[in-house]
């Protein structure tokens, strides 16, 4: 998945586990950019009575690099506070929650937002209300309206939201983790002595699941440098260095400086490219240190596995892997941005520093809805991934195709990708998401309710 449970240690700490990052020029407000960071993966909507929530002990941040050094120039920090109205009941709510101020809502969260630039921080929002989780028709009877109440305007063109949303990342986990057994290509897969398989549609393993989203919409002018339209975006979660269980009071006590425990920029990098023994280290470091991991991008393990999993299907990819040539195309897409002249009329290059960031050229206008391609740049749509990332972009298919060699002709025009490389997919589209995205901020769809969620 994009970054759900992608490293051994963070898989044990879902409250701090970043799952997806989105960055795009806002389609309905093109003078702004929307940044979204999702946390707490794979939420079963009926998971009560202790429903999902952000961690009061976690520092959540969305970072922007606007000079290409892989370090944050502007960071938006989010700190949460949880309050219980009646500690003598086990109930999350004691009646319908029809507003954010409802006395029936027993356990609620609020948050503060601080913008950090250089060595100084400035509070831009305090005591902002999160919405409750979507419980069901009796407890949260008009959840769409309730969620809309939690969209806060902070002035100066800044809007924020933090709370539960429907999972928008669509992926067939069952097939991918089963030795890359992509259902549309099962008839071509090496079956390891098992009976022959037939091609089949993909199954969206994340449908009807929720996440917790932190979304902020800001003026483009506040995050980019003059004359340099491309920004790099990533999210982190940090915990204090010391955590001690206070047995007398029945709670954790945290102290010391914050240390980063989770990071995410481009989708699937730590998931698919970084080896198991270094995933936790990758999560602890800033993008500026990604030269330590660049070899895994230049020589991706999955690209070497595909010819063996699909015998005879990827001969050109097999030859490329055997040649030992570094994948300069993937290094450009994921680590430096694409320089001018590679794709006519487009670039999102940030410089030579190798850093995993979601790069967005903010001078590229949003693609009108009817003309968008879910394959982004591979589909001829400069408004989509890897130029930032929109909610509906099919990053699984895009990255599978890139790994299989579709983008290698960008740096070696003599290379001919295998025919199947340009068709790779797990068989899913945005239509596989039952709660579709919204047309306005915070864009991610209404979360699924525990009562209505299919078993």
Model confidence at 318: pLDDT above 80:
yes
Torsion, CA 395, CA 396, CA 397, CA 400, rounded to 10: 110
Distance from C-alpha of 253 to C-alpha of 13, rounded to nearest angstrom: 17
Q: Before 442, cis peptide (omega within 30)?
A: yes
Could you give the C-alpha distances from 36 to 22, 62, 68, 254, 261, in angstroms and in order? 5, 8, 21, 27, 19
**Model confidence pLDDT, tens digit, residues 374-424:** 999 999 999 999 999 999 999 999 999 999 999 999 999 999 999 999 999
User: What is the model's pTM?
Assistant: 0.96
DSSP structural state of residue 363: T
Q: What is the pLDDT of residues 258-295, one digit of tens each?
A: 999 999 999 999 999 999 999 999 999 999 999 999 99
Report whether 125 contacts 112 (CB < 8 A).
Answer: yes
**Per-residue model confidence as pLDDT tens digits over 52-110:** 999 999 999 999 999 999 999 999 999 999 999 999 999 999 999 999 999 999 999 99
Distance of CA 219 to the CA centre of its chain: 21
Task: For residues 162 and 53, give the distance between their C-alpha atoms in angstroms, rounded to a whole number.
Answer: 10
Q: Confirm if 282 and 289 have CB atoms less than 8 A apart.
A: no
Nearest C-alpha neighbor of 445 from the set 433, 436, 455: 436
The angle that helices 315-323 and 301-309 make with each other, rounded to 10 degrees, is 140
Question: Quick one: pLDDT at residue 242?
Answer: 80
Confidence bin at 2 (pLDDT 50/70/90): low
The per-residue pLDDT for range 241-265, each reduced to its tens digit, is: 887 877 777 777 888 899 999 999 9
Tell which wins on pLDDT, 190 or 294. Answer: 294
Cα 77 to Cα 82: distance, rounded to the nearest angstrom: 17
What is the pLDDT of the chain when averaged over all its residues?
95
DSSP, res 228: B
For residue 201, pLDDT over 90 is answered with yes
Q: How much is the pLDDT for 436? A: 96
Q: State residue 199's pLDDT score.
A: 92
Look at residue 197 in the predicted model and tell me its pLDDT: 82
In the predicted model, what is the mean pLDDT of residues 175-180? Answer: 91
Confidence of residue 1 (pLDDT cuts 50, 70, 90): very low
Domain boundaries, the chain: 1-171+206-289, 294-355+367-434
pLDDT of residue 191: 83
SS3 state at 182: coil
pLDDT for 108-148, tens place per residue?
Answer: 999 999 999 988 999 999 999 999 999 999 999 999 999 99
Residues pairing with 75 in the sheet: 63, 116
Q: Which of 340, 341, 342, 392 is nearest to 366 (CA)?
A: 392
pLDDT above 60: residue 341: yes
The DSSP secondary structure of 380-407, one letter per residue, reads: T-TTSTTSSB-TT--HHHHHHHHHTTTT
């Amino acid at each position: 998945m994009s970054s759900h449970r992608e490293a051994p240690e963070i898989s044990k700490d879902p409250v701090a586990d970043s799952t997806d990052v989105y960055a795009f020029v806002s389609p309905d407000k093109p003078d702004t950019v929307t940044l979204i960071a999702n946390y707490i993966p794979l939420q079963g909507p009926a998971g009560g009575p202790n429903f999902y929530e952000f961690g009061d002990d976690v520092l959540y941040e969305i970072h922007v690099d606007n000079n290409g050094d892989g370090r944050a120039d502007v960071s938006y920090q989010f700190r949460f506070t949880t309050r219980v109205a009646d500690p003598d009941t086990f109930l999350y709510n004691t009646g319908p929650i029809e507003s954010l101020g409802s006395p029936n809502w027993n356990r609620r969260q609020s948050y503060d937002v601080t913008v950090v630039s250089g060595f100084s921080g400035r509070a831009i929002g305090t005591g902002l209300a999160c919405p409750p989780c979507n419980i069901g028709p009796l407890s949260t009877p008009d959840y769409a309206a309730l969620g809309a109440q939690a969209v806060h305007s902070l002035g100066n063109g800044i809007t924020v939201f933090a709370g539960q949303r429907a999972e928008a990342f669509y992926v067939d986990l069952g097939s991918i983790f089963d030795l890359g057994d992509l259902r549309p290509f099962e008839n071509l897969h090496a079956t390891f002595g098992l009976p022959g398989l037939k091609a089949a549609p993909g199954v969206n393993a994340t449908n009807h699941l929720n996440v917790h989203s932190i979304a902020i919409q800001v003026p483009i002018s506040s995050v980019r440098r003059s004359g340099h339209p491309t920004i790099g975006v990533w999210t982190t979660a940090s915990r204090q260095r010391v955590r001690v269980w206070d047995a007398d009071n029945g709670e954790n006590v945290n102290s010391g400086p914050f240390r980063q425990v989770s990071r995410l920029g481009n989708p699937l990098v730590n998931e698919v490219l970084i080896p198991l023994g270094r995933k936790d280290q990758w999560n602890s470091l800033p993008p500026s240190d990604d030269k330590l991991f660049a070899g895994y991008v230049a020589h991706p393990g999955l690209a070497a596995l595909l010819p063996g999993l699909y015998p005879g299907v990827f001969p050109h990819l097999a030859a490329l892997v055997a040649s030992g040539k570094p994948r300069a195309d993937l290094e450009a897409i994921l680590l430096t941005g694409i320089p001018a002249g590679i794709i006519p009329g487009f670039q999102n290059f940030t410089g030579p520093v190798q850093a995993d960031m979601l790069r967005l050229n903010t001078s590229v206008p949003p693609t009108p809805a009817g003309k968008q391609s879910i394959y982004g740049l591979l589909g001829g749509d400069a408004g989509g991934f890897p130029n930032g990332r929109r909610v509906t972009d099919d990053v699984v298919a895009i990255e599978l195709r890139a790994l299989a060699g579709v983008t290698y002709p960008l740096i070696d025009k003599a290379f001919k990708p295998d025919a199947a490389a340009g068709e790779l997919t797990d068989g899913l589209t945005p239509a596989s998401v039952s709660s579709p995205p919204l047309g306005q901020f915070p864009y991610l769809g209404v979360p699924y309710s525990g009562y209505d969620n299919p078993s």
